[in-house]
Amino acid sequence: MHFFVHEEINLLEAAQDGKLDFINQQLASLSSKQLQDACKKSDYYGRNALHYAAYRGHYKVVEYFLDLCCLDLNSKDNQGNSALVLVCVRGYNQDIDEATIKPREKEQIAERKYQIAKLLLQRGATLKEYLKDHINNPLHWACFYGDFKLTQLLLKYNANLMLMKNDRKQFPIDIALMKGKDQETQKKVVKYLIVKFLAHFLKSEQHIQQLKSLDENLEESEFDLNQESVEKKITDRQKYETVGLNYLFWASVLGDLDLVIPLLKQQFSPFSPSYKGRNAVHAAAYHGHNKLIELFFESDYSNKKFNIKKLVNIMTIEKPQTALHIAVEQGHEKVVGYLIKIGADHHLYNFRNQTAFASSRSIAIKELRQTLLKTEKNLIRSGYKYVLVGTNASENLVKQQLENIKKKVKVGKFKAVPIKSYNDSCFYYIIKVSNELKNLVADYEKMMIYNFKEGIICQFDRTKADMYENFHHYHDQQIILSLLCDEFDLDQFLHDKLLLDHFPLHEDEEKMLIYNQWKKEKWELLKEPLSFKQNRCRTPSAIKAYFGAEVGFFFVFLSFFTTWLFIPAVPGIMLGVYVYATNEINSLFIPIYTIALAVWATIFFEFWKRKQSETMFQFDMHVETEQKQPIPSFKGQFWIDDVTHKIEIQYSNRDKWKYYKSVTPLVLLAIILIAGEQIGYYYIIKLRERSTEFTILCSIGLGISIKITNEIFNYFARLSLEYENHQYQNELEDIYIIKVFSFAFLNSFGRLFYKSVIDPDADELNIMSITFTIVWAIMHYLRFTILPLIQYSIKKYFLNKEYELFLEGKWRKMYTSQMASILDNETQNQTNKSFDRKSIGYKRFLRSVELNRIMMATPNHVDQFTYFILQFCMVTMFSASSQLIPIAILLFNIINLDGLLYGFITFIKRPRAEAKKSIGLWNSVLLIVGYIGTIINCLTIYYANQDQLNNLIGKVNEIDQSSQALRNFLLLIAAEHIVIGLKFIIETVIPDEPSWVTKVLKRQEYLLEQMMKSVDIDESSCEKLKDE
């Protein structure tokens, strides 16, 4: 490697290669002045001959230059590294891969580094310059490479090195147990550092003696340590609080009681966070040191009383998880048993949105759970999670399809339990897939699963299944649907009425965990978007894991929008109170507030894109692909692709005109509805003399009418989609969104546009905008929460009544056969005691299936998003007319959040999980309405708020009204251009992806590459062994 550009290249290369004879020959004939000049020469990197000799581990060359006394041995290169640092960093004389170095060679390298460092220190190399944070000092490098003697040497000269942190806030001990190193040597270094800390800083007599025995190999004795007073010990402990907690953490990693107990006696708490936000309990749980954990919770070294149940459930800061999660993940049964005994909560979610026992694949851990918790057997929890609902007429056909799946399965078990409904109206087929079959399908489908050993999401490998987390609900559904779709075209079966429905079953315990988690984190979740920090709340990810990404994104958007409403709501309510108190209707602050809202809309959208990117990562959607779902009713023409030579289906020429044909009557319908509505309102408002009460009453009627006409238009829009013959579901949804939102936007704000621009009336605009806001909020809550709850409660009441009659035998005769056959891939008609029709478990399970079936269908997210985007439009465009709009929407949205989540938990049928990376077309809608809002705000100020504008910028001669109007118009045009310019600037300045997400994604990409390289190496070594 040639780094050099100076004419002294020969000297530097010789120092790098260790050619002492050549160096001596070159320098022997030089005078003292020439010798100093030659030795001080450096290359492009600021390194001189001494630097290279030390860096490459040439002891004799280093000694030669030191004997010449022509170099400053503390001189640094351009990166601030002295010869002492360079020998700690490298110290061997050839470019070789560390992984290929033999143990004997490693020992020789370590000894060479030690000898050179010792020589430099004896000749006057200083360590004081490295007694500061934010740099890697020599001890960091010695610990990183596991150089035990070098560590001893450096601490002999200055023990304070062990208290310094690098730029990653790591102490030297924190990097002493890195992966890929010799663990035994590294542990020896860690133990020495802890002993040194106890002896030198905490003055432990026991460890002073131990340190003396460890340092016997050093030529000089290091000690002049005397016992200090008790007060001095207390001062030392307080001074070294942070570093002491880290040393307790690493002592717990080693599991050495002789090192842990002295630290506990010094009042270092095993429950306080230290290394990467973990504490000593987490370290002991990871390594299975059950005696150490018992010591932490049962010892009386702490002078303070503590709540054990609270401390045992402390979570790590990075990648939140409790000690129980860690112990279960690592399979330490004794630790798990003890933690449960002292009150560990197994219901808490970790950073992967799994409870402690749900995250484990171990059969032993699952059996331990059953023993410890003494839970009743639950068929849903045992794997019967998916239901096909078939008609009595299609029973044989569906059974045949399930039989075909059974024949194909060679590994594991596929079970489909046929159960007749209690009233003989249909058949239920309850699907269960064994773990072996799940692993096989996940491997075949190349599903992306979190590998907790490597800390990355990667393709599942069933041969290394123990390295991966347990499958989430999303994965279970994908696996079951993948098996079913080999034989069933489920959408076609539904279309042909061969199947009535198919859905995943709710898990009551899991639902309540999510709802309790929401209640616990609700206000933190609402505060989080304004903190501009990484999201720590786990509720959205838990919702995604259970209900799917689409529902998860919806709740994230709603909570994010609700939080951001605080920004316009607070000044809005202050402005409203000021106007009411002073009776200054034409306040100059109103135009300022209105223009500020246009900027707020842009900032909101930019930060929402960042939040969306963050959410996509936290939902693991960055590794998923959104699948195009074909529509069974699509009719097209066959053609052969010129590239793939495969037969595909495409639109016929006639279908391309269907869209325009269907749009024309919809446009006419929209005109009729909007015009009829506005004309009707116009005549009603003219029936009697204008008053505030009458205007409010008419506005309420118009608001209700708008919601009704929206529903009428939506119905015909859905009919038009069937006529248009779309091929894919996502394409159909986008067209539906465009139609529905376009009409809803014009229908909802038509009258407001009219009163703000065409026939300006600030009073009516104020009343109408706030009335619409309240009426629409109430109607939305009634439609999506109250009415479905009432409807479900009525259904549930009659179901329970009929089901009780069924159980009593009065509704129908009991089945003559008391056992349900199970279709699996091992036996034809195997019986299962779990499905004994007389058992309580079976009756409870059948009732659960019946309740799941009568639950309400998942709300149409197009309708939901349409309403909340209209709220956004109302805030952006008409808050100038009524400053109470943001606070009203904020309050209703807080109520709506609770109501909607309660609905999903209580009476909404569990949706089928699908991959979603964003809220889709709604991002474009938000962008467009942001620009429209800027223009509408300016027009509203000009036409409906002239007096406020005049108060802001001053009046001219009142006789010349046209000049004043022209001036105001030109100023608003300028303001509008400035605001739109600010929008472009904000879009450019604010990145769409948070920096921490970018960094983590790059890190995961790197780790994945490294893992794939190691896999390739393992495969090649296996092939060599086979050849041999």
pLDDT digits 0-9 by tens, 669-724:
999 999 998 888 888 888 887 788 888 999 999 999 999 999 999 999 988 887 78
88: in domain: yes
Residue 357 has pLDDT above 50, yes or no: yes
What per-residue confidence (pLDDT) applies to 1018?
Answer: 56
User: What's the gap between Cα 26 and its chain centre?
Assistant: 62
The domain boundary residue, chosen from 489, 505, 521: 505
* Overall average pLDDT of the 214-229 stretch: 52
Residue 453 in 3-state DSSP? Answer: coil
187: in domain: no
Least Cα distance to 415 among 83, 824, 34 occurs for: 824
1002: in domain: yes
What per-residue confidence (pLDDT) applies to 508?
Answer: 87
Counting residues of the chain whose pLDDT is more than 90, the rounded percentage is 28
* Overall average pLDDT of the 476-494 stretch: 86
Q: How many CB atoms are located within 10 Å of the residue 728 CB?
A: 14
Question: Which secondary-structure segment (H or E) carries 204?
Answer: none
Taking only the tens place, the pLDDT of each residue in 392-441 is: 888 888 888 888 888 888 888 888 888 888 888 888 999 999 989 999 99
pLDDT higher at 757 or 257: 257
Domain encompassing residue 399? 386-505
237 falls in which pLDDT band (50, 70, 90)?
Answer: low
Counting residues of the chain whose pLDDT is more than 70, the rounded percentage is 83
Please tell me which of 577-586, 627-636, 942-951 the model is most confident about, judged by mean pLDDT.
627-636
* Overall average pLDDT of the 57-82 stretch: 88
Residue 818 has pLDDT above 60, yes or no: no
**Taking all residues of the chain, what is their mean pLDDT, rounded to a whole number?**
82
Question: How far apart are alpha carbons 317 and 452 in whole angstroms?
Answer: 17
968: in domain: no
Q: How many domains does one find in the chain? A: 3
Here the CATH number for the domain that contains residue 4 is 1.25.40.20
285 falls in which pLDDT band (50, 70, 90)?
Answer: very high
What per-residue confidence (pLDDT) applies to 26?
Answer: 79
Residue 235 has pLDDT above 50, yes or no: no
Residue 828 has pLDDT above 80, yes or no: no
pLDDT higher at 881 or 270: 270
Q: What's the token pair of residue 1009?
A: 């590459």
What per-residue confidence (pLDDT) applies to 995?
Answer: 78
954 falls in which pLDDT band (50, 70, 90)?
Answer: low
Residue 293 has pLDDT above 50, yes or no: yes
79: in domain: yes
Question: How far apart are alpha carbons 324 and 544 in whole angstroms?
Answer: 23
Q: What's the token pair of residue 69?
A: 């006394």
Q: Give me the residue label for tokens 């195997």.
A: 830
* Overall average pLDDT of the 858-867 stretch: 90
Within 13 Å and on the Cβ side, how many CA atoms surround 795? Answer: 15
476: in domain: yes
* Overall average pLDDT of the 253-278 stretch: 90
Residue 52 in 3-state DSSP? Answer: helix
Taking only the tens place, the pLDDT of each residue in 996-1010 is: 788 888 888 887 777
What per-residue confidence (pLDDT) applies to 560?
Answer: 93
Residue 809 has pLDDT above 80, yes or no: no
Residue 227 has pLDDT above 80, yes or no: no
The domain boundary residue, chosen from 126, 159, 185: 126
3 falls in which pLDDT band (50, 70, 90)?
Answer: very low
180 falls in which pLDDT band (50, 70, 90)?
Answer: low
442: in domain: yes
109: in domain: yes
Question: How far apart are alpha carbons 545 and 472 in whole angstroms?
Answer: 7
Taking only the tens place, the pLDDT of each residue in 563-617 is: 999 999 988 888 877 777 776 655 667 777 877 888 888 888 888 988 998 899 8
Determine phi and psi for 414, rounding to 5 degrees.
-120, 120
pLDDT higher at 972 or 233: 972
pLDDT higher at 45 or 532: 45
Least Cα distance to 391 among 267, 499, 505 occurs for: 499
Residue 725 has pLDDT above 80, yes or no: no
Scored b (16 or more CB within 10 A) or e, 815-832 reads eeeebbbbbbbeeeeeee
What per-residue confidence (pLDDT) applies to 975?
Answer: 66
Q: What's the token pair of residue 605?
A: 């959208």
* Overall average pLDDT of the 529-548 stretch: 82
Determine phi and psi for 831, rounding to 5 degrees.
-100, 155
What pTM did the predictor assign?
Answer: 0.83
* Overall average pLDDT of the 874-901 stretch: 89
The domain boundary residue, chosen from 451, 477, 505: 505
The answer to whether the beta carbons of residues 575 and 590 sit under 8 Å apart is yes
Scored b (16 or more CB within 10 A) or e, 661-677 reads ebbeebeebbeebbeeb
What per-residue confidence (pLDDT) applies to 489?
Answer: 81
